[in-house]
Homo-oligomer: A and B are copies of this chain.
Amino acid sequence: MKLASLKGPGREGTLCVVNRDLTRAVKAGPWAPTLQQVLEHWDELAPRLADCAQALEAGANRHAFDFQQALAQGHIAAPLPRAYEWLDGSAYLTHVARVRRARGGKVPESFYSDPLMYQGGAGAMMGPRDPIRVLSTEWGVDLEGEVVAIVGDVPMGATPEIAAAAIRLVTLVNDVSFRRLIPAELEKGFGFVNGKGANALAPVAATIDELGRDWHEGKLHLPLLCTVNGKRLGGPNAGVDATFSLPQLIAHAAKTRDLAAGTMIGTGTISNQDPATGYACLMEARLVEQVEQGAAKTPFLAFGDRVTLEMKDAEGRSVFGAIDHVVERYA
């Protein structure tokens, strides 16, 4: 099934079930008011939501609304409008290698067995059409296109197998990054506080069974189409060149602590070795330009710039709907 959240009445929104082609949706109802509540009572509530999804698919129209219209009108929040934990890995070492190469360095051997991961803020996620609001574009505003897993309770010390079984939903994230603030924070070693902004999720999150054959070995084998102002930035495949699977990243996060239901784990910026796939962030384009052409030419995002992130299956159907938003001045 595919789940979304309408904005309001509270900060956690109102849970909705969406049909497979993202045209129609229905509120789950008072027994499942928010996605967080469902994640905490998954075994009890997920089957009821699945019934709801099946009825919707079969054409039941009672209380259903036009999902695309609600999306266009800005009524759709992130599927999980706020999360208690957001841990973002760095599964695609091609991305890391390009960054290091531009600095004249190499990827440390340990990165291939011990994943990079930072903890970020997710107390107020952006909806898929909400603007990226910044005080200044001097920060070096960039997108980062990733796949994210939303998990149930994961016990401390969980194996990747246990972690895989705890994945409840998968969706896309734009992990907005402020590139010019990151080097100083990396040097301090304490991770990113100022270097990362609020993140956006795709319109819907999907259960693993919705992903069919595109999901295997804990990876989603589909390209992530990224555009800036309508121009293709890239379409790297999330199943290609991923050193770590999502279950491995979840197990890393759970090494010394329980992860509470509703924790989100990201893959890190998707990146493929094949340069023809392009990029899921501007920085990589810039670093490649710097190495190959002597200077970065692709600019970071300016006010008014529009970013889209979307994944389509083999039949060309949007799996999660598109993140589609513009950069705005915070006021």
Contact = CB atoms under 8 A, between A and B. Distances in A.
A197 B256 contact: yes
B330 A134 contact: no
A186 interface: yes
A11 B178 CA distance: 34
B255 A194 contact: yes
A327 interface: no
Nearest to A178: B256
Given A84-B82, A156-B135, A157-B135, A121 B257 contact: yes
Interface stretch (A207-215, A239-247, A259-267, A295-303): A259-267
Interface residues of A, number: 53
Nearest to A139: B256
A117 interface: yes
A102 interface: no
B257 A114 contact: no
- Chain copies in the assembled complex: 2
A31 interface: no
A61 to B, nearest CB: 34
A193 interface: yes
Contacts of A194: 252, 255-256
Given A189-B191, A194-B255, A119 B119 contact: yes
A51 interface: no
A5 to B, nearest CB: 16
Given A84-B82, A133-B156, A259 B123 contact: yes
A116 interface: yes
A85 interface: yes
A257 B198 contact: yes
Interface of A: 10-11, 40, 82-85, 87, 90, 110, 114, 116-124, 133-135, 139, 156-157, 178, 181, 184, 186-198, 252-253, 255-260, 262-263, 330
